[in-house]
Structure 1
Amino acid sequence: MRHFEMGSKFILIIGRIFFVLTLIFPGLYALSQSNQPDSLSRLNNNGEKYEQFYDSLEYKAKQKTLTRIVYDFLISPPRPYVDREALSLEYYSEMEGKIISEITVKPLDVFGPTFTDTTHRAKSFVEKAANALHSKSNLNTIERMLLFEVGDFLDPDLLYENERIIRALPYIQDVRFVLEQDSVYKGLVKVHVITKDRFSIGVSGAVDGNNSAALEFYNQNIFGVGHEISFRFVGHLNRQPYTGLETFYKINNIRGKFIDISAGYMNTYRREGFSFLLDKPFITPSIKWGYGASAVRMYRTDRILEDAPIQTEDPMDLSFFNVWGGRSFQIKPHDYHNSQMVLSAGIYNRTYFHRPVPISQESQYFSNNTFYLAGITFTQRRYMQDQLVYSYGITEDIPEGFKNEIVYGFDVNEFGNRHYAHLYLSNGNLLVNRQGYLYLSGGVGGYFKNNDYEQGLIQGSLNFISRQVNAGRKRFRLFGKANYMLGIRRFGIEELDLTRKEHIRGFSSRDAVGKQRLSLSLEYVLFLRQQFYKFNMAMYGFADVGIIGSNRTFIFTEKYYSGLGVGLRLHNENLVFKTFQLRLAFYPFPPSDMSFTGFIIEEQLKKDFYSFRPTPPQPLRFE
C-alpha cells in the first residue's frame, strides 16, 4: 500500500507541474485539441470534420476582441502534409536507371543565395565580409563524399542516402541534388550537387564559478578541405597551471574512404596529455567493414576518460588504448530499408602509473586491465526528413529502425579476471498516423567473478517528440523523456546523480546521489518566426522530476527533486556557433547545497537524434 501511495504521489507531482506548464504556455492546449498534420502527421479521412471544427471555433472566437486576439495567436487551421522523403524519391525516380554522364558541384555563399534563388546576393556589409572571409567547400572534398560516380546507373535510394551523409557534415547547412536530362541521349543524366556551407569559424566561451574560465576558437572547414581545428584557452585563479591550452586537429574522410583521424594535446589545470583517434564507422548499411583505434596518454588528469562520471581529487597518470573491427552482413543487399547483422570485436587496455590507492572492495575500478569484447548486432535504419525539431528551419534527418545487440567480454584484471555480458534493445519509429516519434531502449548487463555478480545495471529509456503543431503564425512541439537506471552491486565510488545528461536542467547538487534513479522531463518548444539579428529564436518551458536513492528499496519511496522553468534559445543555421541559451529555473524543496532559483546564460550543443548505427562493442555505462 505504501508503494501505491508513493506512486500516486509521483503521478500527482507530474500532473501539477504539467498543469503549471500549460498556464505558462497556453498553446499546449492546442496540442491536445488540434490534429493538424505536418511532416510528422498525414492527412486522414476526417479532414472535413476538422475544417468544420476550425470554422466554428474561428466564428465564435472572433465575436469578442480578447478571444479574437487569443485565437489569432494560438490557433491556425490544418495545413497540408508534405512528405519530403516521398517527394525526393519521386523526383529521383524520374531518372532511375539512367547512366550518370556528368557530375558537377556548386557551393553557394554562406549568406545571400538560397536553393530556390541561387542568384541572390548578400546585401549588408557584414554578410559580404563574412562571405569574403569564408573558404567555400573544396569541390574535391564534396566529390569524395559522393557514393556514386560517372558511369553508374542512377539509384534514387542511394541519392537520398547520400544527401543525408553530406548534410551531416558540421560545416554543411544543406545539400540538393539536381538532375538534368541529357539533351541528346535520353539514357544519360547529369547530376548537379548544390551545397550551402555554414560560416566555419566559431568562438565559444564558458565561466565556471568565480575561479575558472575558458575561451575557444575553432574552424570546422579549414581552407574548404573539411579539416577541423580548435584552440581552447583555459584559466584558473588558484590551480596551476593558471593558464593552459587544449588543441585538436581532425581530418575527415581520408581519400574518400570515410576514415576520420583526429589528434589533440592539452595542458591545463585539469589535465595534461595527448590523444589520438582513428575511426571508420558503418556510415551506410552497404559498408562491409568498420574499424577504429584510439590512444590516450595522460600525465595528469582528474578523470579516467574525458567523459567519465567519476572525478578524483588526486591527479592520475595513466594510458588507455583500444582497437576494434567489425564485419557487416546485409540481409538483402542493395536494399537500404532492410536489416543487417554485424559481428565485431575489440580490445581495450588501461595502465596506471599513478592512481588513487585502491580500496579492497573497489579495487576493480582503478585497476590495470586488458578487456576483450565481442558482439553481435542486428540493426535496421532508415531516415525521414523533417524541420523544426532540434534545428531551426533546415532539413533534419530523423532515424527510424532498431538496434539490438549482445556483447560478451573477458576482463584480464590485476585484481582478478572477470566475465562480462549485456543485452541491449532499442527501437525508434513514427507513431500510428505519424502523430509523433517514439524511441524506446532497455538493457541489462554486468560482470561475473568467481560465480558472483557485480557492477551490474538495468536501464530503460523513453523519448517522445510530438508532431509539429501550429499556434497562430508560430509552431511548437512537445518533447518528453523518461529514464530509469538501477545499479546492482556497484562499488561505493559509483554514484548516480541528476546533473549529468540534464535529468533536471540546471540541477547542480552533489548531495542528491544514489544507486537508483528515475527521471522524467517534459519540454514545450515554441519556434518563433521573428529573428534577433539574423538569429532564429525558440521559447521553451520545461518541467523535470527526478527520484534518486538506494537500490535496496522501491524507487517511489526515495527522495524527490524537481525543476520548473522557462528559457530562450538563439541560433543561426548559417554559423557553426553553438546555440545560445537563457534559462530561468525554479527548484521546489532543493537540497541544502542548492538555491531555490537559478538563472544561466550558456552555450548548448545541438542535440543529436538516437542513431541505430552499429558501434564498437563496449560495456553499458552506469551514469
Structure 2
Amino acid sequence: MRMKMSKQLINNTTNYIILFLLLISFRGKAQPAQNDTIPVLPDREKKYEQFYDSLEYKAKQSKLISLIYDFLVSPPRPYVDKEALALEYYSQFEGKLISDITITPLEVFGPTFEDTTRTAKSFIEKTANSLHSKSNLNTIEKLLLFEIGDFLDPDLIYENERIIRSLPYIQDIKLLIEQDSIYTGLVSVHVLTKDRFSLGVSGGVDGGEAAALEIYNQNIFGVGHEISFSFVGNLNREPYTGLETFYKINNIRGKFIDISAGYMNTYKREGFSFIIDKPFITPSIKWGYGGSALRMYRTNRIFDDDPIKTAIPMDLSFKSAWIGRSFQIKPDDYQNSQVVLSAAFYNRTYFQRPIPAPENNQYFSNNTFYLAGITFTQRRFIQDQLVYSYGVTEDIPEGFKNEIVYGFDANEFGNRHYAHLYLSNGNLLVNRKGYLYLAGGIGGYFKNEDYEQGQIQGSVNFISRQVNAGRKRFRLFVRANYLLGLRRFEIENLSLSRNSHIRGFSSRKAVGKQRLSMDLEYVLFLRRQFYKFNIALYGFADVGIIGSNKHLIFNENYYSGLGFGVRLHNENLVFKTFQLRLAFYPFPPSDMSFTGFIVEEQYKKNFYSFQPEAPRALSFE
C-alpha cells in the first residue's frame, strides 16, 4: 500500500514538473514578439492548435493544474484591428448614392445585433422594456451626419458610429449597408441602435449626518433629453431637506447644440445655472462656441470641483462665453490635423465673500479674465473592449493636442497677464498593443514683472493590452501625475484626497504645494455575471508624495494605499458602477485609520481627449 502511494506521489510530482517545464518552454511561443512582423505559416498554426489542445486536455485532469493553466496559458490570438475591419466594410460601398435610410431601435433586454428576433424572458426584463421609452426615430435621425442623396463616405460613417455610441443612453450602434439589387450605384443604410434603460437611481450617506437620493432619466420620452432630481438632507444644517434639479436638451435641431439648466436649494448651496455648448464634436466642424451663467446666493465653493472650501457662505455670479474657428490642414480628411483659433472671457462678481487677506486677495477677487488660444490637434479613434466598460465597444482616441494660451486678467486688486503651454500625445505604442498617453504643461500669471500662481505639471497614463489567460481577461493600468506650484497663494494647497491619487485617502493634513502620485491597478474581467451584472475584480497599489515646493519632491512626505475590490456594472442600464473596496494605508496621518472599507457608486472613467475646447487657465488641484 505504501509503495503504491509513493509511486502515485512520484507520478503526480513528475506530471507537475513536466507541466511547469512546458509552461516555461512554450510561454514565449504562445505570443511571440515576431508575430507582429513575421506571419505564422498555416502548418505552424495547426501545430500550435494541436499542442494547446493536448496541453489543455492534460491540464484538465487535475483541478490544481487546471487552475494554473487557466491563469497562465493563453493560445496565440492575432491582433484584430476593428477600425480597419469597419472601414474595409464601408469602403466596399464608397461613392455610391444613399437612396434609403431605415432606423430600428432595439429593446433594452432581449434582442441583439446578431439576433434581433430574441425577446426578453424574465418578468423583470419584460417589465423594464415596457417602462422604457425607446429612442425616438427622429432623435436618432438628427444624429446622422448623412442623408438620402449623399454619396457614401466610409470615414464619415465610422465617425457617426462613434458619436452616437458616445451618448449616455445608447449602448451600441450598428450601420448595415445594402446594395440595390437592380441599380448597383444605389445603397440603403440600415441603422440599428441598442438603448440603455434610461431610468436610474443613485444616492449615498456622508458622515452619518447627511444623505442624498438622486433619480434621473437620461433619455426622457425617448427624445434624448436628460432630467434629474436630487433630494438632499442634513440633520444639523438648514435647510434640513433640499432639492437639486437639472434638465438638459441635447442636439437641438440636429446642430449638436446642447442646453442645460439647473436649480439648487440645499444645505450646501442655493442658486441656478445655465449652460449652452456647441463642441467640436467632429474634426469637420468649423465653429464651436458656448456660454454659461451661474448665480449662487449661498455656497461654500465657487464650483463643484473647487478645492477651496470657505467657512463663510459666498454670494456670487459667474458668466462666461467662448468661440472657436477650426481650420483643416487637409479638408474632408478625418484623420488629419487641424488648427483652432479660440477666444473666451470669464467674469466673476462677488456680493458676499471672505475678507480677502493680502496674500490671498486675488483668489476671491472681482475680475474679468480674457483668454485667446491656438490649438494644434489631430484625433482619430480605434475600437476595443474591456477597458473602462464591460464588453461593449469602446472608442479610444489617439493623436495629439498642443495649445498655447495667453490671457489678461482685469482684476480689482491689480491687472495681470497669463500664459501657458500645454502638450499632450497618445497613443505612442507601436502596433497598438496597449495605450500610452503623455501630457505636460507650464503656465502662470505675470504682475508688475513678477511671476505668481504658476505651475509645472506632467502626467503619464498607460493601459496594457487585454491579456487573455484561458477564460480570464485582464489589464494593467498605470497612472502617474506630478504637479509643482510656483508662488501659489497661501490658501492654495494640493492634497491626495481625490481618487485620482490615493483612492479612499481622506486626510486633510497631508497637503502641500508639490505632489507626485503613482497608481497601479490590475483588473480581472470575469465572464460570469451576477444577476446580469458584469463583474471585475481588481487590486491596486497607490503611492503619493506631497509637501513643500522648496525641496526636491522625494524629500517630502510619503503615503500609500493598498487594497482590492470588486466592481459590478450592467451595460444595459445607465446606472453608475457599483464598487466594494477594502484598502490598507500603511503609516497613515493622524486623522486617518489604517484600514478603510467602502461601498460606493463610481462614474465610468473617461478617456483622454484631443478635442479642441474653450481656452482656460491650467487648474491647480
Matched letter for residue 426 of structure 2: G
Matched letter for residue 406 of structure 2: Y
2 CA distance for matches of 1:41 and 1:399? Answer: 26
Aligned residue in 2 for 1:24: none
Aligned residue in 2 for 1:13: none
1 CA distance for matches of 2:481 and 2:336? Answer: 29
Residues 41, 433 of structure 1: 8 Å contact kept? no
Q: Which has the higher contact order (CA 8 A, sep 6+)?
A: 1
Pairwise CA distance, 1:43: 4.7
Aligned residue in 2 for 1:534: 532
Aligned residue in 1 for 2:577: 579
1 CA distance for matches of 2:601 and 2:456? Answer: 32
Aligned residue in 2 for 1:477: 475
Residues 519, 547 of structure 1: 8 Å contact kept? yes
1:24-78 CA distance string (max 9 Å, x none):
xxxxx99x9668679x997542755994996897699678653343113442212
Matched letter for residue 536 of structure 1: N
2 CA distance for matches of 1:338 and 1:501? Answer: 35
For the residue of structure 2 that corresponds to 1:284, the secondary structure is coil
For the residue of structure 2 that corresponds to 1:333, the secondary structure is coil
Residues 70, 472 of structure 2: 8 Å contact kept? no
The percent identity for this pair of structures is 77
Aligned residue in 1 for 2:38: 45
Q: TM-score, normalised by structure 2?
A: 0.92
Pairwise CA distance, 1:184: 1.8
Q: TM-score, normalised by structure 1?
A: 0.92
Map of 1:55-70 to 2, 5 A cutoff?
66-70=64-68
Aligned counterpart in structure 2 of residue 521 of structure 1, from 519, 523, 530:
519
Aligned counterpart in structure 2 of residue 566 of structure 1, from 564, 567, 571:
564
1 CA distance for matches of 2:558 and 2:281? Answer: 41
Aligned residue in 2 for 1:388: 386
2 CA distance for matches of 1:456 and 1:381? Answer: 29
Pairwise CA distance, 1:305: 1.2
Residues 580, 599 of structure 2: 8 Å contact kept? yes
Residues 105, 135 of structure 2: 8 Å contact kept? yes
The structure that has the greater radius of gyration is: 2
Residues 250, 258 of structure 2: 8 Å contact kept? yes
1:545-580 CA distance string (max 9 Å, x none):
000000000000000000000000000000000000
Pairwise CA distance, 1:86: 1.0
2 CA distance for matches of 1:41 and 1:373? Answer: 50
2 CA distance for matches of 1:83 and 1:46? Answer: 16
Residue 512, structure 1, aligned to residue 510, structure 2: yes
2 CA distance for matches of 1:41 and 1:176? Answer: 34
Aligned counterpart in structure 2 of residue 216 of structure 1, from 210, 214, 217:
214
Matched letter for residue 589 of structure 1: F
Over the residues paired in the alignment, what is the CA RMSD in angstroms? 2.1
The alpha-carbon distance between structure 1 residues 144 and 549, as it changes in their structure 2 partners (threshold 3 A), is: same
For the residue of structure 2 that corresponds to 1:362, the secondary structure is coil
1:278-332 CA distance string (max 9 Å, x none):
0000000000000000000000001011211111111000000100000000000
1 CA distance for matches of 2:54 and 2:518? Answer: 37
Aligned counterpart in structure 2 of residue 369 of structure 1, from 358, 367, 389:
367
Residues 272, 300 of structure 1: 8 Å contact kept? yes
For the residue of structure 2 that corresponds to 1:500, the secondary structure is coil
* Structure 1: runs of 5+ lacking an equivalent: 1-28
Aligned counterpart in structure 2 of residue 407 of structure 1, from 405, 408, 412:
405
Structure 1 residues 72-81 or 503-512, which shifts more? 72-81
Map of 1:87-486 to 2, 5 A cutoff?
87-486=85-484
Pairwise CA distance, 1:432: 1.5
Residues 531, 537 of structure 1: 8 Å contact kept? yes
* Structure 2: runs of 5+ lacking an equivalent: 1-22
For the residue of structure 2 that corresponds to 1:364, the secondary structure is coil
Residues 499, 505 of structure 2: 8 Å contact kept? no
For the residue of structure 2 that corresponds to 1:399, the secondary structure is strand
1 CA distance for matches of 2:542 and 2:481? Answer: 11
The alpha-carbon distance between structure 1 residues 428 and 563, as it changes in their structure 2 partners (threshold 3 A), is: same
Pairwise CA distance, 1:84: 1.0
1 CA distance for matches of 2:99 and 2:34? Answer: 38
1 CA distance for matches of 2:383 and 2:453? Answer: 40
For the residue of structure 1 that corresponds to 2:359, the secondary structure is helix
Pairwise CA distance, 1:502: 2.6
The alpha-carbon distance between structure 1 residues 182 and 259, as it changes in their structure 2 partners (threshold 3 A), is: same
